[in-house]
Amino acid sequence: MLPDPCSWAAQDNPDAPIPPRVGFAGDCRTAKRRELSLVKRWAHTPATTGHDIFERHYRVQHNTPELLVVFLLALWLFGTYVSGGIGALIGLVFLVGRALYAFAYVEDPAKRPTGFMLSFVPTALLLLGGLGGAVMAVF
């Protein structure tokens, strides 16, 4: 039997860099919530449609990595060319926003804009700041 990848990401790999480790562990928690929703709603494993709550968990699970790719690039740029400490604080706002987005979206999709904005705005700030810092470093 293979080890649980979520426990590997969160505990058994101290050499993993922090941002991917946090992102992967967060995605695993989202996957576990989706899986529990799948079991509660009597859906079969390969199914990606079915009960409304399961579909919401499924969409949250797939929306998070889509924004995470841009966020990690923006965080790296900002940390390299502007400030790692300020980037970390903005990154915390992103993490809170993604958690709010996930819980609000599963409860009622109409409640998701606050969480989305708390994850999109920090990503945009990090990206614009990082690109601006990179341009200033060149000139």
**Dihedral pair phi/psi, residue 31, rounded to 5°:** -65, -40
| pLDDT tens readout for residues 43-72 | 566 666 778 888 888 889 889 999 999 999
88 against 23, higher pLDDT = 88
pTM over 0.85: no
Q: Determine the Cα angle at 58 with ends 9 and 93, to 5°.
A: 60
Indicate the SS3 state at residue 97. Answer: helix
The average pLDDT across 28-42 equals 63
Amino acid, res. 132: G
The average pLDDT across 13-32 equals 54
Q: Break the chain into its structural domains and give their ranges.
A: 16-138
For the segment(s) 16-138, the CATH number from 2.60.40.10, 1.20.120.550, 3.40.50.1980, 3.30.70.80 is 1.20.120.550
Quote the percentage of the chain above a pLDDT of 70.
Answer: 65
- Residue 53: the pLDDT is 87
Q: Determine the Cα angle at 82 with ends 77 and 87, to 5°.
A: 70
Instruction: Tell me which residue of 105, 123, 119, 29 sits closest to 60, measured CA to CA.
Output: 105
